[in-house]
Structure formats: C-alpha cells, structure tokens
Structure 1
C-alpha cells in the first residue's frame, strides 16, 4: 500500500516594519510559534512592507532582534512583499480583465467632503467595519469610454474591487473555519460590509487585502493566526480567494493586548515596545507572563 506523506501545517508571523514590535506582536508571535510546534508544523516569517514610505530596514532589523530575543525560530528565506509586487500585479490585472476591478479617481479629501455634506442632511453614510466611509459610486458607474479617457490623461487613481459584481459572480455565501478566542466554527463571510475595497494605489502597488491572500497561497500557509482586529477583514480575504481560485487556510483570531484605557496597542507607544522592555532587563519568560501565556 502506497501512502502519501502528511503535509505539515504551515503557520506564519507577518509583521510590518513600520515601527517597533510591542506586546501585542509578542502575543501573536508566541501563539504562531506554540501552535506550529504543537501541530508538528512549520513557522514562516513574512515581512509585510508594501508601505513604501513607512517601512524601513531599521525596523525590519528590530523585528529580527526582538523575535530572536523571544526565542522564536523561523524557516528561511524570509518573504518580503516588496520583492513580489509583480505577483500582486499579475493577480490585479486578471481581475481587471474580468471587469471585477475599476479605477477610482476621487481623492480622500473629495470623498470626505462628499460624506460630510451627505451626513449634514441627517442621513448616515455607510461605513466599513473599521469605520471608514464606503467609496462613492461615481467611478464605478462611469462608462468604459470615460474611464479610458481619464486613465489616458494620467490622472492618479487607485484600483477598487467592484463588490456588487464580484458577489454576483460568486453567487453563493462564503464561509471560513475559525478556531479563535471569541468565535469558533464555520463563520459566514460578509464582504459587502466593506464596500468597494482598494486593491492597489498609485503609491502602493498592492493593498494588504490583495497581497496577504496571494502570499498565504504561494507560501502554502494552512493556518492564519492573527489579532481580532483583522477578524472582519477575513470576509474580504475569503472573497478574493474565491475570485483568484486560491486555497483557504483555517483562521484563528486571538485576543488583543490593550492599554489602560482599553485601546489596542500602537507601535508609537514606546513603553510597550519589546526593545524598551528588553533594555529594562525583562526576559522572554517575563513577556510571556505579561501577556498571560
């Protein structure tokens, strides 16, 4: 009898080098590490550096130093998103060719003015789960001729997913498997709550949503372990996975580490930064204790 070797589960820790890691990152890194070991799996490190203005080599070096101090080991090579923009662009162009993405030309200030004027009349403008107003329908409803003329003129633009058209194409509800701290089991994805999300900007060749699903697929990630702040974004990721014919991982959204006021930690808060805590003489065991592991 011939047996096929069992594929090892693949986990990944994927920080952005746009600031110093803090206790919240430590929780996510430890959980990925511990769950990978418990499952006899693999742990990958991915540097999510699509933000060309805020991500720096210095912050990346800090990530490596912090993780080594915590005793976390990962497989080589490290994947850096800036080295894979062509892969994201290939996926984007496939969506453009299928009429699922459109160019959007309104600036943030124009959108803000539109929303403010609308809400002054007493009606709420629809917002996504993060509280950002949905993008107006102007560009989605333009004719192909008008779009081509605007693109040809060199106007700066982003590329947005036509949410309505994408959902019509899928034609059935989407779900994901969740093993996290607050909800477990099969979760209904609700991407419509996000409106026409950005997939690419003039200053960033790929969005978080697009790059993360492609990275997970290309790296063979089977388990995504990340904070609850990204729980609702999984709805968009499930839709993109279906549109691009990508495999779906199991998701585990863990609790967040918050400050004294109950707010999610920020990279700008130095007192929770791992480098600062290490300089004070704390150990990796101390960090585990601080975050309740």
Structure 2
C-alpha cells in the first residue's frame, strides 16, 4: 500500500523559476488493442505536460507480453495518435527490441546478490495475499534457473519516499507492503517493473506522467533505480477513468476504441477530465487548434487529486 502524507515540497518542474532543465516525457502503451478513452487521457496528460514546458515527448510500445497483445495494435495506436493531433519526437521505441538491455540489468542485480529463483506455485502466492514472504530467498543461483522458476529481487526493510506532482507526498516500505517482487517471469518474459526502469533511464526520461493505478509501482521502481544506480524521474499520477460501475477502462472490460472521426469531441472530453476549463467556442475546432490551446493552458496543479473518475466516456 502507498501512504499519502499531507505536506510536500515538490521539485521545481523544468522551465519554472527561470530553470532551463531538460524535460523528457513519454507515453508507453501496451499493444493490447486500440486507444480507448483511458489511454487517450494518459497520452494527453503526458503530452501536454511535456509540450507546455517545451519538452520532448517520446512514445514507447510496451510489447513484452505477446499472449496479451493484438496483431497490428501498435500500428493502430500510432495512427490514432496522429489523427488526434499528437506529434511525437524521435523514433518509437519497442520494448521487444530491448531484451539484451534487460538481461544486462538483471545480471547487474544478480552480481549484487539481490536475485533469487522462486518456484512458489500460484496457489501458494494467492494464499499469501499481497505480500510475498521471502520463502525462496535461499535459491540464489539464478544461472541454474529452470523454465518453471521466476526471478525475484530481494527487497530491504526501508521506507521509500517520493513526491507526486499531482497526488502529493507518498511513502512505502516495499518489504513490508509488497515483499520481494518478480523481475523475470516463469514464462521467461521480463517483468514490467524492470523493463520500465531500464527504458526510462535509456531514454533519459525526466518526468513520468501516468495513471493512478500505477502509483503503487513507483516505490518498487525507485528501489530498482537505486540498485542499478539510475536517476529517478519526477512522477505525476492522474485519476484513472472508470466506467459507471467503477471498473477501469480496458480491453478486458470491453472498452470502446476511440472513434477518430470524432477526434475533436474526444479530445475536449479528455481535456475536461484533466481539469482544463474548456471554452465552448472550441467545440468543433480541429485537433491541432485544440492541442495548441491546451498546451497554452496546461497546469498540472489543476488535475483532480483523485484516484479515479467514473462516467460514460466516449
């Protein structure tokens, strides 16, 4: 569990108080299907925060889980973004091309004695609840790992604190609240936590703007950054869009893909979701006009400080 604290000293964002700090943000969708309203909000929040600070906005396709991916989804997502008026910088990075880098980082952690093989069964893990108990910590020789063993990183009994630019000050003791977590799965796929840390550093990302559903991952990612001697970016977690039943919009919940023939309408709804005071005169304006207006009006402090917002979304 992530704990919120009332007071907070936040780092100055790039470009504030005369600062010329470089800003590099990113949008990192998984190619499980086309963009829906929730993923549009994620793209828009990260885009506006980057562009309002004359920063760089990158796209990373998180294609590390083939069983969950849809053929052609990555191309569809990129086409949707272009139609909606997004302009990204540089080449799109595909995580499937980065396996060697993840393995190198895993071996770096292993050299520090932090990795171990876990052969716990799914029923045992489920019985534990939310916190892994370190049952397999003695299995240190990951070089003899079989295909049935996940690799976990050993955590430490320490509190990790971070300031979230939207949600405030948070802290978490990973060992007590999460336990040793998986960095390479039993099916030999690298886990999200490791891959995202390695790639944020590789792309020199300074600011991570993403949904509140990922705030619980932040302390784990900071812990990995510390062990790998990598910089920690600023974090900002906006509310997650849910349907009227309170369920996060997703392919599993049959969320409708964005209808790009209604691009302006979709953008305006996403802008309102993120706290922008949309002038009615903007109705019907093309995406480029809407984007330029939103960039000029963006202030991350106006984003609702909520975990979720429910509604009937486009």
TM-score normalized by structure 2?
Answer: 0.74
CA distance in 2, matches of 1:11, 1:57: 27
Point out where structure 1 has 5 or more consecutive residues left out of the alignment.
Answer: 116-124, 128-133
**Structure 2 stretches of 5 or more lacking a match?**
1-18, 277-314
Q: Secondary structure at the match of 1:75?
A: coil
Match of 1:190 among 154, 158, 173: 173
| Contact preservation (8 Å) 1:13, 1:29 | yes
- C-alpha offsets along residues 138-179 of structure 1, whole Å, 9 cap, x if unaligned? 32245x5xx68x937x4521100112xxx26xxx64322311
Counterpart check, 1:290 vs 2:269: yes
The residue that corresponds to 1:47 in the other structure is: 61
Partner of 1:161: 153
Task: Give the distance between the partners of 1:162 and 1:188, measured in 2 at CA.
Answer: 19
Query: Are residues 260 and 139 of structure 1, via their aligned partners in 2, closer, same or farther at CA, if it must alter by over 3 Å?
Result: same
Please point out which of 207, 215, 222 is paired with 2:191: 207
Once the two structures are superposed, the pairs formed by residues 172-187 of structure 1 within 5 Å of their partners are 173-180=159-166, 183-184=167-168, 186-187=169-170
2:16 corresponds to which residue? Answer: none
Instruction: Verify: 1:238 aligned to 2:190, yes or no.
Output: no
Q: How many pairs does the alignment contain?
A: 253
Q: 2:144 aligns with which of 136, 146, 151?
A: 151
Matches within 5 A, 1:267-282: 267-270=251-254, 272-274=256-258, 277-278=259-260, 281-282=261-262
The CA deviation string for residues 5-46 of structure 1, in whole angstroms up to 9 with x for no partner, is 944200100000012221011111111111111101000000
Aligned-residue CA RMSD (Å): 2.2
Q: 1 CA distance for matches of 2:243 and 2:192?
A: 25
Distance (whole Å) between structure 1 residues aligned to residue 247 and residue 70 of structure 2: 26
Secondary structure, counterpart of 2:59 in structure 1? strand
Q: What are the residue-to-residue correspondences of 1:106-117 with 2, within 5 Å?
A: 106-112=120-126, 115=127
State the SS of the aligned residue for 1:233: helix
Partner of 1:84: 98
3-state secondary structure, aligned to 1:76 = coil
Query: Given the superposition, is the C-alpha separation of residues 267 and 241 from structure 1 closer, same or farther in structure 2, using an over 3 Å criterion?
Result: same
Tell me the secondary structure at the aligned position of residue 175 of structure 1: strand
Conserved? CA contact 1:50–1:204, under 8 Å: no
In the TM superposition, residue 76 of structure 1 has moved relative to its aligned partner by: 2.1
Indicate if the aligned counterparts of 2:249 and 2:255 stay in contact, CA closer than 8 A. no
If the length of structure 1 is used for normalisation, what is the TM-score? 0.79
